[in-house]
Amino acid sequence: MKVKKLWITLALVFFGSFAILIYYGGEIFQKAPPIPEKVITLDGQVLYTKEDIQNGQNVWQRMGGQELGSIWGHGAYVAPDWTADWLHRELTWLLDHWAQSEYQSTYEGLSLEQQASLKARLKVEIRTNTYDPATGAITVSADRALSIQAMKEYYVKVFGDDPSMDEYRSQIAVPDNTIRSAEDHHSLSAFFFWATWSTSTNRPGMDITYTNNWPGEPLIDNVPTQSTVMWSIISVILLIAGVGALAWYFAVQRHREAPEQPAPKNDPLLNIKVTPSMRATLKYFWIVTALILVQVGLGAITAHYGVEGDGFYGIPLAEWFPYTVTRTWHQQLAIFWIATAWLATGLYMGPAISGYEPKYQRLGVNFLFGALLLIVVGSMVGQWMAIKGYITDLQSNFYFGHQGFEYVDLGRAWQILLSVGLFLWFFLMARAVWPAIRQKSEGRHMLILFLLASVAIPVFYTPSLMWGQHTHLSVSTYWRWWVVHLWVEGFFEVFAAVVISFLFSRMGLIRTATATSTVLFSTIIFLFGGIIGTFHHLYFAGTPTGVLAFGAVFSALEVVPLLLIGFEAYENLRHSRASAWVSRYRWPIYFFVAVSFWNLVGAGIFGFLINPPIALYYMQGLNTTALHAHTALFGVYGMLGIGLMLFCLRGLSGTRSWKTKLLRFSFWSLNIGLMVMGVTSLLPVGIIQALNSMKKGMWYARSVELLHSPVMQNLVWFRAVGDTIFALGIVGIVWFVVGLKTGKSLEQDTAVHSESKTYHV
C-alpha cells in the first residue's frame, strides 16, 4: 500500500473516531444522572441540596477521592466501593426495619414468603425514579429518609474517630478524623447518597439504572442488562473476525515486502555528534532513575497497607503517610518518570536526527527540567497537605491540592503548568527536527509521523483542563479517560512505535520506507480501536447504552493489533543479532522485546479479561483491574521508558563498552518479578473477588469480610515474593546508571573514536 493512501486512511480513522467520541460526549452530558436541586421527604423536609451534593463531591476529592475506595467502581481497592457499600447497607437496613416493624424479627429470621414480600417492596421503593424535572427534586418516603439518616450516621463514624470503628478503619486504611467538620460530613453523605441513587434508580421510561444496573445487587435485582450481555457476545465475535482479517493481511503483505537490506558493517550512530542540549538531557535520566526507586518503594508500602492498613511492619507510617498519600504518589510518579524518560528521549533525538543545534536549545532544556521538578514536588506537597487536612478550603484544594481522580490527581494549577511544559517540550524538539524535515529525504514521512505522535502528547493532556470544580461526575469521568486512555494508553503507544522504528531505521537495520509504511499501518489499526475504545471505561459511569455498545465493539478491536506482537518481538530479537556492533544496543533492544511481550500479556490478555461489558460488570474495581494496570503500565510503558533511557545513555557513553551483567540481572528480575506479582497474587485475588461478585454482589467482593479472610490475606502476603524480585531489578537499574556516572559500569577499554565524544553519564 502506498504511503499516501496510508496517510489518507489514518486521517479518516482519526477524524471519524473523534467525531463519534465527541458526539457521545454530548450524549453523556445530556443523559447523565440528574443532580437534584434538593432531596425532600413527602412532607417537604429538605434532606440535601444541590450545593450539598456538589460540595460533597469536592470533600470526597479532597480526602483522596479515587485513591481511597471507589465511586462507580473507579478507584482504589482496599477500602470499599462507597456506592456499592451504601446501597447494600441501606437495603439491609430497610429490610430489617420493615421486618421489625411488621413481624418483630430481623429479615433473616423471616419465612421465605415474608422475605419475598419485603424484597418486592424494597425493589419498588429503591428503583422507582421520583426525580421531578419540573421542580428538580427527588422525593423519598419517610422510611427512606430514616435509612438515609442511618447511613449518614454510619459514615460519620467511619470517617470520624468513633472508637467502635478503629479496627475497621485500620482494615480499610482510613485514618482517624479523615473528615473533621459536621458540615463536611453532611456534604459527603449527600454525595454518597446521590452517587448510590444513580446506581439503583431506573432511568425514566426504562427498566435499567443510570449506571446500567451496576453494581450487582441481588436484593433489588441489579443484574446485567440485555445490552451488556449482547454487546459482550458481539465484541468477542468481532475480535475473532478482526484477528482473522489481520492475519490474512499480514500474510499477503509479507510476500510483497522488498528484500531485506544487510546490516551496516559499522555503527551508523557513532557518527552522531553529541551537542550541548543532548548532553543536558543527562539530568533528566538521573531524575528518572531516582523517581523509579521512590515510586517502587511507595508501591511496596501501598501494597502492604492491604494487609496492615495503618502501618508498615509495625511502624505507624500511616500517621505521616497514609494509604491515600502513598497510593497517589505511587501512581503519579509512575506517570512522571515514564513521561520524563520519553521527553528526554525526544530532546536527545531532535539534534541527533538533524545534526542541528538551535540557538538557546540547551537553555530551553535546562529551563524545562527545572519546571518539571517544580511541578513534581509542588503537586506532591499539595496532595499531602490536602489529605492531611492542612488544606480545608475546597476551592484551594481544587487548584493546589488533590483532585481525587486517579492518574490526574494533581491540582488544577499544576495541571496548567504541566500542559505548558509539555508544549514547551514539543517546541524544543520540533525546532531541532525541522531542518531534517525540510530536506525532503526518504525518512521525511517518518519524521512527520514522529512530530505528530509527539504533539499528541501535550494536546491530549489538555482534556485534564476540561472539567471544573463542580462538573458532573459522569462528565469529568469522560474527560479523565481522554487523558488516561488516549494520552497514556493511546498516543504514548503511537509515540513508542514511531520511536522504536525510527531508531532501527537510523541504525540501518530496516529500510526507512518499510519502517514508515509499517508504522503508519500499525498506527491506523491501533487508533481504529483505541480512540473509540475509550468508552470501555465508561460502561457504568452514568452513560447511555450507546456508549456501552461502541465501547464493547471497539475495545475488542483494540486487541487485534496485538496479534502481530509476536512478529514484532521476533524482529527486535533478530535486529539485536544483525551484526557484531549491534551488541552495543543489546539491552535497550531487549527491553523493547519486553515491551512487545507485555503488550500481548498485560495490555492484550489481561486487558481483554476485563474489557467485555459482562466481564467488567463483575470485575470493575477488583484486583483484576490492578493486574491489567501493573502489567500494562509498567510492562509496556515502563519497560519502554527504561529501554529508551538506556538507548540514549548508550549514545552519551560514546565508544566505551558497558559492563552488562547488572543489566542482564535487572532485565530478568523485572520481568520475572512482574509476572510472579501478577499471576500468584493479583490474578487469584481478582478471580476470587469476581466469583463472589457474581454470587453475592459487588459490595461483598470489596468487603473486609472477604479481603481479610485467611486465604485472601495469604495471597496478598505472597505478593511480597514477586515485589521483592521486581524491586531488586529496579535497584540494579539504578546502580547501573549510577555506575555510568562513576565509571563502574564502563569497561576499561580503548575504542576507536569518532566525531562523538565519550562522557561519564
Rounded Cα distance between 411 and 405, Å, is 10
Model confidence band, residue 285 (pLDDT cutoffs 50, 70, 90): very high
Asked whether residue 201 is domain-assigned, the answer is yes
Q: Where are the beta strands (DSSP E) in 232-322?
A: none
Q: Tell me, yes or no, whether 67 lies in a domain.
A: yes
- The whole-number average pLDDT for the span 26-41 is 96
CA-wise closest residue to 195 among 43, 107, 77, 75: 75
CA angle 123, 129, 130 (to 5 degrees): 115
Q: Give CA–CA dist 379/382, Å, rounded.
A: 5
* Average pLDDT for 455-460: 89
Q: How many C-alpha atoms does 166 have within 13 Å on its Cβ side? A: 2
Show the domain range for 84. Answer: 32-223
Report which of residues 581 and 323 the model is more confident about.
323
Please, which residues have CB within 8 angstroms of residue 482's CB and are 6 or more apart in sequence?
460, 463, 466, 534
In a domain, residue 123? The reply is yes
Q: Is residue 155 part of a domain?
A: yes
Number of domain units in the chain:
1
Region of poorest pLDDT, from 223-232, 391-400, 431-440 = 431-440
pLDDT of residue 350: 86
**Average of pLDDT values for 316-320?**
82
At 359-418, the pLDDT tens digits run: 999 999 999 999 999 999 999 999 999 999 999 999 999 999 999 999 999 999 999 999
Residue 101, in any domain of the structure: yes
**8 Å CB contact between 469 and 58:** yes
User: Can you give 498-548 as a three-state secondary structure string?
Assistant: HHHHHHHHHCCCCCHHHHHHHHHHHHHHHHHHHCHHHHHHCCCCCCCHHHH
Question: What pLDDT is attached to residue 604?
Answer: 83
Asked if 231 contacts 244 with a C-beta cutoff of 8 angstroms, the reply is: no
Domain presence at residue 563: no
For 456-465, letters b (16+ CB in 10 Å) and e give bbbbbbbbbe
pLDDT digits (tens, 9 = 90+) for 87-105: 999 999 999 999 999 999 9
Query: Is a pLDDT exceeding 50 seen at residue 758?
Result: no
Q: What is the mean pLDDT of residues 676-680?
A: 94
CB 45 within 8 Å of CB 389:
no
Say how far apart CA 542 and CA 191 lie, in whole Å.
15
Q: Is residue 21 part of a domain?
A: no
Q: What's the mean pLDDT when you consider all of the chain?
A: 88
Q: For residues 650 and 658, give the distance between their C-alpha atoms in angstroms, rounded to a whole number.
A: 8
Q: Residue 760 has what pLDDT?
A: 41
The residue assigned the cell 562522557 is: 759
pLDDT at position 574, please? Answer: 66
The CA-atom distances, in angstroms, between 634 and each of 187, 607, 718 are: 37, 14, 20
Provide the pLDDT for residue 413. Answer: 96
Residue 303 has pLDDT above 90, yes or no: no
pLDDT at 593: 84
Rounded average pLDDT over 146-170:
95
Peptide bond into 215 cis (omega under 30): yes
Poorest-pLDDT segment among 333-342, 647-656, 681-690: 647-656
Q: Which residues on neighbouring strands pair with residue 132, listed in sequence order?
A: 137
Residue 107 has pLDDT above 80, yes or no: yes
Residue 50 lies in a domain: yes
Q: What is the pLDDT of residue 746?
A: 85
